Chains A and B, each alone.
Chain A
């Protein structure tokens, strides 16, 4: 079963084997408001854990999306270019940003599980 883990900066990564699907949490999309533009990295780009992976812009501001783990970008969600609002409508599903091939699965241990993240959000 796919497991989803979260950063304190509200990115999620859903793990399927050695690949993870990265997006922003429902809490994050709610804080951002209406998403109007998403800038995605090139396929093949090497990302470092905590480094900039993408940019998401709402009407009011631009935000950086950080890589939850290190690895290589193997796919990006090109649908977001024409329909950035998908990030608001379905952040955990069709609103995903990119898929990353994990470099070091041990990095996942520093991320929060579902329950821990939901508890963390309640403290904000």
Chain B
């Protein structure tokens, strides 16, 4: 038997892997540790990915995402900082209200995606002029260098390396967090507040990467362990590894950087039009704006779609996508088994002519055509708190 390890990667494998502040807890909990983006991370705990996935959909899953990059952009006032960031991303940040969060992408000059990120404007008037960013672990050093090199002199990037980040996701997340931080229950989707969690100051946002309602909690690395332990005292909260994080986000139709989006894909090709607000589409002023405005006006030649194989066999990343006549029209960028869907699901890029939901295509798996249909995403309805 020979396995292609899909969820570990070689990045940073020549150096000793980094550990998050929760590493010892993962080991104690029986986490199966794998190298991921230069960190030693739990891919699963003893109950396994299926159970962890289903638990998150039904109750509440607790994830350590401290490997992700947290930083602040700090300038003299909101407009100055927002404009500095808008020069690098296509989202409207100037009009982002205090306490609100937005998803966006760092773009290269060709409009390709260098990374995707979350941008939060602090609700605290004393912090006006500060934006909080969360970027991908594997990209963070390159992102910071890219951003720093392009900031005006009056806006600084400050890494928040003393911070850790955890996510509490699932329909039981609100009750579990509100039990120790009552304010959390009042928050709407994609908003952020500062509050005490288990007695420690934390930045809490109502967002995540599973398609479920939930929170991300950023707190001092020295305090995160107590917050983690306190949340796990709730019988509805269980620790969840990176394996289930991947199957949850796949069912939710969410992009994984380096797979579904990268420097060769534009946000329009990736179907992320909703993340580029009207003012930015009209005004441009971000890297690759000419291409992206052209794509909005004239359409794209290929686009990211959901794919549902008809049988039980999953189609993995890299599988070619063909028409029933055998013409290759695209490639799978993420694929696997959806535990909630109780069947395989995938996403990939196809030529625009073959992208309508219901289109019959074949995914080439181990040399054989596997019938599949273009499907709307998310594959599983999301549970966001609107």
Interface residues of A (CB under 8 A from B): 9-11, 24, 28, 31-34, 36-37, 39, 55-66, 81, 84
Contact = CB atoms under 8 A, between A and B. Distances in A.
B50 interface: yes
Interface in B23-57: 43-44, 48-51, 53
B359 to A, nearest CB: 24
Nearest to B32: A33
A57 B313 CA distance: 8
B336 interface: yes
Contacts of B2: 9, 63-64, 66
18 contacts: A9-B2, A24-B1, A31-B3, A36-B337, A37-B314, A37-B337, A37-B344, A39-B313, A56-B1, A57-B313, A57-B337, A59-B244, A59-B337, A60-B7, A60-B246, A64-B1, A64-B2, A65-B1
A66 B246 CA distance: 28
A9 B1 CA distance: 5
Contact of B314 (A11, A24, A57, A64): A57
Interface in B297-327: 312-314, 316
Contact of B1 (A34, A37, A66, A84): A66
Contacts of B336: 59-60
A28 B1 CA distance: 8
A34 B49 CA distance: 7
A103 B366 CA distance: 27
B5 interface: yes
Given A24-B1, A32-B3, A62 B314 contact: yes
Nearest to B366: A55
Contact of A33 (B44, B314, B316): B44
Contacts of B366: 39, 55
Interface of B: 1-7, 43-44, 48-51, 53, 243-244, 246-247, 312-314, 316, 336-337, 339, 344, 366
Contact of B247 (A59, A63, A66): A59
Nearest to A36: B337
Given A60-B43, A60-B243, A62-B4, A34 B50 contact: yes
A1 to B, nearest CB: 26
A63 B7 contact: no
A63 B1 contact: yes
B117 to A, nearest CB: 26
B50 A59 contact: yes
Q: Which of B43, B53, B246, B366 has the most CB of A within 10 A?
A: B366
Task: Tell me which of B3, B4, B49 has the highest count of chain A C-beta atoms within 10 A of its own C-beta.
Answer: B3
A59 B51 CA distance: 11
A36 B243 CA distance: 14
B129 to A, nearest CB: 43
B48 A34 contact: yes
B250 to A, nearest CB: 10
B246 to A, nearest CB: 8
Nearest to A65: B1
Nearest to A52: B366
Contacts of B4: 61-63
A36 B314 contact: yes
A115 B43 CA distance: 31
Given A33-B44, A37-B312, A61 B50 contact: no
Given A24-B1, A34-B48, A59-B50, 4 more contacts: A33-B48, A37-B312, A59-B336, A81-B312
Nearest to B246: A60
B291 to A, nearest CB: 35
A17 B366 CA distance: 33
B313 A61 contact: no
Contacts of B1: 9-11, 24, 28, 56, 63-66
A55 B339 CA distance: 19
A33 to B, nearest CB: 5
A60 B246 CA distance: 9
A97 B312 CA distance: 17
Contact of A59 (B3, B49, B312, B313): B49
A103 B223 CA distance: 64
Nearest to B2: A64
A34 B47 CA distance: 10
Contacts of A31: 3
A32 to B, nearest CB: 7
Contacts of B312: 36-37, 81, 84
Nearest to A54: B1
A89 to B, nearest CB: 12
Contacts of A28: 1
Contacts of B48: 33-34
